[in-house]
């Protein structure tokens, strides 16, 4: 669950700019915003009806799957909602529902200079999830479906700022995977009897019997299903489904009800030291594995403390059941 007092804005590809790379490109604007505002902004700026025109005059050289060199006549006029496939890949075909990892470079459209690259440190953007909802809201994603791995696709970005910054963002699509739809793994049989009792519907949706659970002074972490996937670290973003309750059994949030997933950042924002999710999530999910279902009982000091948060009263102990569906 996000700490809504601060979250890094991720509007990049929604405005035809990289979700991961845009945060460090001054041209994209680095202001922080509430995640709800960010989502609203993304939804209002992009829709399935947005038409994307092709960029003319851009080519690329280099081996497939390696850092490409973009070639175009400078200065170039670049518009948003434009694209060009400059390298046809030779790998597996990308499909709806895939999570795609892409290496990227951003090149100044005025003079051809490189603004940023993920290639040198091998830090691909793996936040690209080609779900039905994302394909409707983020037009650039639709252009990735059907391409083969090692293809390079270029997007035009023309920022509305005083300097008139514009650039080309070249994404080389290097891998694909599928997120899980629910926890899969070995059911843990030695769960302490005094903890809340969790049951799962066929689709994975959890229900809970609080079993007399009261407030706690320290974080309780109990794995309910042990997945066999990647182990989460402080450098990961976990893709999760979750439900949250107060200790009296009141449900205050559930991504199962909304049929959505959450990308939960487990790292600290190096800019100001604030966390992208509440501390209880960070500490409770690190060391867990993809495919797991985890019960977290979080004391107020690792949740929202003395501040009321929506329907969550101040000084609340929170109970979460979290399915870890993927990680990047």
> CA–CA distance from 91 to each of 55, 94, 119, 144 (Å)?
24, 9, 19, 13
Q: pLDDT tens, 42-71?
A: 333 344 557 899 999 999 999 999 999 999
Q: Mapping DSSP to helix (H, G, I), strand (E, B) and coil, where does residue 92 land?
A: coil
Question: In the predicted model, is pLDDT for residue 299 greater than 50?
Answer: yes
- Average pLDDT, integer, range 162-181: 90
pLDDT at residue 304 is higher than 60: yes
Residue 17: which of 74, 68, 79, 86 has the closest Cα? 79
The pLDDT value recorded for residue 292 is 98
Distance CA(227)–CA(251), nearest Å, equals 25
Domains of the chain in sequence order = 13-178 (3.10.50.40), 186-327 (3.10.50.40)
pTM for the whole structure: 0.79
Q: How confident is the model at residue 148 (pLDDT cuts 50, 70, 90)?
A: very high
- Span of 59-63, 133-137, 151-155 with lowest mean pLDDT: 133-137
**What is the average pLDDT across 15-24?**
40
Round to whole Å and give the CA distance between 240 and 261.
6
- Is residue 180 a contact partner of residue 291, using CB atoms and an 8 Å limit? yes
- Distance between CA atoms of 98 and 54, rounded to whole angstroms? 24
């Amino acid at each position: 669950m996000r700490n809504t007092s601060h979250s890094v804005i991720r509007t990049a590809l929604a405005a035809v700019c990289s979700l991961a790379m845009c945060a460090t490109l001054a041209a994209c604007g680095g202001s922080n915003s509430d995640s709800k505002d960010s989502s609203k902004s993304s939804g209002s700026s992009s829709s399935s009806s947005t038409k994307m025109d092709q960029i003319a005059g851009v080519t690329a050289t280099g081996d497939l799957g390696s850092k490409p060199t973009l070639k175009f006549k400078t200065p170039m006029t670049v518009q948003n909602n434009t694209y060009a496939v400059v390298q046809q890949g030779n790998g597996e075909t990308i499909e709806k529902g895939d999570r795609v990892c892409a290496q990227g470079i951003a090149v100044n459209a005025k003079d051809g200079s490189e603004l940023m690259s993920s290639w040198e440190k091998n830090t691909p953007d793996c936040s690209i999830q080609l779900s039905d909802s994302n394909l409707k809201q983020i037009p650039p994603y639709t252009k990735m479906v059907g391409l083969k791995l090692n293809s390079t696709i270029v997007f035009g970005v023309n920022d509305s700022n005083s300097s008139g910054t514009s650039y080309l963002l070249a994404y080389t699509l290097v891998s694909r995977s599928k997120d899980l739809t629910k926890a899969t793994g070995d059911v843990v049989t030695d769960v302490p009897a005094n903890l809340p009792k969790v049951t799962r519907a066929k689709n994975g949706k959890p229900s809970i019997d609080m079993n007399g659970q009261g407030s706690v002074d320290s974080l309780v972490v109990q794995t309910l299903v042990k997945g066999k996937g990647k182990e989460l670290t402080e450098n990961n973003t976990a893709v999760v489904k979750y439900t949250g309750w107060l200790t009296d059994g009141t449900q205050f949030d559930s991504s199962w009800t909304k049929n959505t997933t959450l990308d939960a950042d487990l790292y600290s924002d190096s800019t100001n030291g604030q966390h992208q999710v509440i501390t209880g999530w960070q500490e409770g999910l690190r060391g867990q594995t993809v495919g797991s279902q985890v019960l977290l009982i979080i004391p107020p000091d690792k949740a929202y403390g003395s501040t009321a948060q929506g329907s969550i009263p101040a000084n609340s102990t929170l109970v979460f059941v979290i399915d870890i569906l993927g990680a990047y």
